[in-house]
Structure 1
Amino acid sequence: MRVLAALSGGVDSAVAAARAVEAGHDVTAVHMALSSSPQSCRMGARGCCSLEDSVDAARAAETLGIPYYVWDLAEEFEETVINDFVEQYQLGRTPNPCVRCNEFVKFRELAERAKALGFDAVCTGHYARVEEGPNGKQLLRARDLLKDQSYVLAVMGEEELDRVILPLGDVTSKTAVREEAEARGLGVSNKPDSYDICFIPDGDTQGFLRARLGENTGNIVDPDGNVLGTHRGYFEYTVGQRKGLGIDRPAEDGKPRYVLETRPSTNEVVVGSATLLSIDTVRANELTWLATDDQGEVLTEISQEMGTDDDQCLYAQMRAHGRAIPVVGLEKTTETVKIRLGEMVRGIAAGQSLVIYRGNRVLAHAVIEFARREGEWK
């Protein structure tokens, strides 16, 4: 099989490509250059897309003896990921740029180009599994749940699922991957992981948004509308945030305040007690349902002993490394889904990804529109 392997320059993609070669595939490597100024895209372990990464990717390809190319996708990345990130914050939402990148760049753009060039599949170093089920391919959590990335891959469509190879889905730990990289002489075994938002390498998201959107002073208010302080831009805040609120006046009960919502129409940030963050009902749109043979039927009884590997139970995950929460109610149309959770969850924001699982199998992905306590729907 002709396979196009995405080499980021890190240890995971290098080992994934090596496994694809070892499996007997005809592998060609490609490095996706996502930044127009790559020399500024790495600070310590932060970020990716640096010149160092492209050099490391080329070295890994040379070690493996496979062809290597660099694709300049900076324009596509700017348009579909960075611009969307800014626009979503401007709308008062909390986007997940990694999901967006995987949807439009690392899979859709990569898969379309691979297909046009005659490749049968693409190979990446993501930690998740694609396995053949009774009714076709299934996307599953990785064996190593601490590294599992099925959450950010759930946005893939059925066609992409049929044309992707994920060789690291069965590994037991990142340590095992590093040891394998060293044994293969790939030269990236001790390279640190990238983290945070790759296009904000200094980690200052507020400063990045302020530079793009400017300052827009407004009020910080409590749920009753009482003014507690001011802010420099509602887009610098996200639901659940506790630090950096800049409020001198303490709450009446002396407990911390948290961001409950941002209101672009009035340029306000609403803060309140932690109890007001707790929700049990979520509505989401832009629904992608991956499992054609499982339409999300919910168990009538949920046992407290059920773990996330119970293949009968329905679960919802709303953060990349968040806990899977049992789902006790689900209603959906072709584009939207509404779920009721089996327990209260705090700090869920519009714009975040909702991923629905049956045990460890991914059923669907949607973008959260809003979250409430049951009975509070407007």
Structure 2
Amino acid sequence: MSLDTALNSLGLPKAPADTRVVVAMSGGVDSSVVAAMLAEEGYDVVGVTLQLYDHGAALAKKGACCAGRDIHDARRVAEEMGFPHYVLDYENIFQEAVIDEFADSYLGGATPVPCIRCNERVKFKDLLETAKDLEADCMATGHYIQRKMGSDGAELHCAADANRDQSYFLFSTTQEQLDFLRFPLGHLASKDETRKLAAKYGLSVADKPDSQDICFVPNGDYASVIEKLRPGAAEPGEIVDHEGNVLGTHKGVIHYTIGQRRGLGIGGLADPLYVVKLDVDNRRVIVGPKEMLATRTVPVREINWLGDGGFTDRAEREIAVKVRSTRPPAPAILRPLSDTEAEVELLTPEQGVSPGQACVFYDTDSTRILGGGWIWRGA
């Protein structure tokens, strides 16, 4: 094989047997299929699973990734496919880099996305460095996103299956990280294809259900986790309208999010009201009509730019953005303010834009992700 021209399936100029790949294994079907696929192709696969908390004993629910049963499942797949597997204790790192910020952000009235911070600060930072220490040529994950080579190097693109696309959670991937990462499932048309591959390889996790919600939040109950992490956080206060009129009381600001309608305990009013702002300092939940949720201008900071050229090379540009993971990209204008801050103008106002969420940038003419940043205050 000519090293000048021949690339293996991971885009590296060497034989698979001479290519070491660290596979980040959560214990789920996606990362298990990645590891099995690469092992079958003859790569030098090393599976690594992170223990992110005390085997599920403290906060995690049954079936969450990176604890308890899932570590066992990842180890079993490695045994079935015949490659080495290691479990690394990242509990302290995860606590400091992800869980503590999640709690503090929530207490500050934001709606954090800890999965993004986990990718940014743990999986694609510390684990990636561990992969390099293991003399790996690259690191592969089971994320549904695509890495494509462009004229200026590796680019990040949406997954082929829009229903599985995880670009919202990976916008903070840096160019240096992208050069080292591989996403072998991003081109698949559906999750069914992944499960068929798992069955083909005879994996014990082939029919394992997908993990849901945040791994350390049982049943999506954010407030109960915050109360465990920050005792006394749920102090009662007033529910007021946008003019300051008291409409009722609440049992703690941490129980509410921007855009919430149900569970306010202020029934009997002529028109439905929604949470439009959280006044943490005064322990007030401010409600108003649905039209008050409409946001056109979104301030963004901590920007990670993956587009061509420097971020501030142009005064403004037309892009598409996601302000929530469940929404499709919408037309917007991006106006850089500095290397790490910008103002995003939504051409069609969106409801429920909340501080702490991500604003992810997309190219309007392709599937490329241009980066993104964090929404940092209510508009």
User: Alignment length, in residue pairs?
Assistant: 356
CA distance in 2, matches of 1:212, 1:151: 27
Answer yes or no: is the 8 Å Cα contact 1:299–1:328 preserved in 2. yes
User: What is the aligned counterpart of 1:80 among 97, 122, 125?
Assistant: 97
**Runs of at least 5 residues in structure 2 that lack an aligned partner in the other structure:** 1-18
TM alignment of 1:143-182, pairs within 5 A: 143-182=160-199
Distance 2:272 2:102 in 1: 28
Q: Report the more deviating stretch, 337-346 or 325-334.
A: 325-334
Residue among 352, 355, 365 paired with 1:350: 355
The DSSP-based 3-state class of the residue aligned with 1:370 is coil
Rounded to whole Å, the distance in 2 between the matches of 1:323 and 1:371 is 21
Task: Provide, for residues 20-63 of structure 1, a one-character-per-residue CA deviation record: whole Å limited to 9, x for no partner.
Answer: 2244431100111111143566656x522332111110111112
CA distance in 1, matches of 2:149, 2:175: 13
Offset at 1:181?
Answer: 0.1
Cross-structure match for 2:263: 244
> Which position in structure 2 is the counterpart of 1:369?
376
Give the equivalent residue in structure 2 for 1:291: 307
Q: 1:35 is matched with which residue? A: 53
Does 2:244 correspond to 1:225? Answer: yes
Larger deviation, residues 34-43 vs 237-246: 34-43
Does structure 1 residue 277 correspond to structure 2 residue 293?
yes
**Which among 248, 267, 271 is matched to residue 255 of structure 1?**
271
- Cα distance in 2 for partners of 1:235, 1:39 equals 23
Whether 2:37 is the aligned partner of 1:19: answer yes
Contact 2:334 2:342 in 1 (8 A): no
TM-score normalised per structure 1? 0.89
- In structure 2, the residue corresponding to 1:118 is in which secondary structure? coil
Cα RMSD (Å) of the superposition? 1.9
Please, which moves more after superposition, 233-242 or 342-351? 233-242
Contact kept in structure 2, 1:137 and 1:161, CA below 8 Å:
yes
Of 319, 322, 346, which aligns to 1:314?
Answer: 319
Provide Cα deviations, 1:61-84, integer angstroms capped at 9, x if missing partner.
Answer: 112211111001111111111111
Q: How many percent of aligned residue pairs carry the same amino acid? A: 39
Q: Give CA deviations for 1:267-287 in whole Å, capped at 9, x if unaligned.
A: 111111111001111111111
Q: Distance in 2 between matches of 1:39 and 1:350?
A: 31
Could you tell me which of 63, 67, 70 is aligned with 1:53? 70
Q: Contact between 1:43 and 1:201, CA under 8 Å: does it hold in 2?
A: yes
Q: 223-232 or 286-295, which moves further after superposition?
A: 286-295
Query: Are residues 1:205 and 2:205 paired?
Result: no
The answer to whether the Cα contact below 8 Å between 1:228 and 1:249 also exists between their aligned partners in 2 is: no
Match of 1:336 among 332, 341, 355: 341
Deviation at 1:187, TM superposition (A): 1.1
- Partners of 2:267 and 2:101 lie apart in 1 by 34
Contact 2:274 2:289 in 1 (8 A): yes
Q: Is the 8 A contact 2:145 2:157 kept in 1?
A: yes
1:112 equivalent to 2:125? Answer no
Deviation larger for 130-139 or 28-37: 28-37
Question: Is the 1:281–1:371 contact (alpha carbons within 8 Å) kept by the matching residues of 2?
Answer: no
Q: Matched residues in 2 for 1:122 and 1:195: separation?
A: 24
Find 1:264's aligned residue among 261, 268, 280. 280
Matched, 1:103 2:110: no
The separation in 2 between residues aligned to 1:316 and 1:22, in whole angstroms, is 38
Counterpart contact for 2:277–2:286, Cα < 8 Å: yes
Q: Matches of 2:238 and 2:42 in 1, distance apart?
A: 62
Structure 1 unaligned blocks of 5 or more: 301-312, 373-378
Q: Give distance in 1, aligned partners of 2:374 and 2:316.
A: 24
1:371 and 1:362 map into 2 onto residues whose CA distance is 24
CA shift digits 1:60-114 (9 cap, x unpaired): 1112211111001111111111111100011111100111111111111111111
In structure 2, what residue type is equivalent to 1:368?
I
> What SS does the aligned partner of 2:377 have?
strand
* C-alpha distance in structure 2 between counterparts of 1:299 and 1:332, whole Å: 10
Q: Structure 1 residues 26 and 81 mapped into 2: Cα distance closer, same or farther (>3 Å)? A: same
CA drift at 1:117: 2.6
Cα deviation for residue 331 of structure 1 reads: 3.0
CA distance in 2, matches of 1:211, 1:39: 13
Specify the code of the residue in structure 1 equivalent to 2:367: N
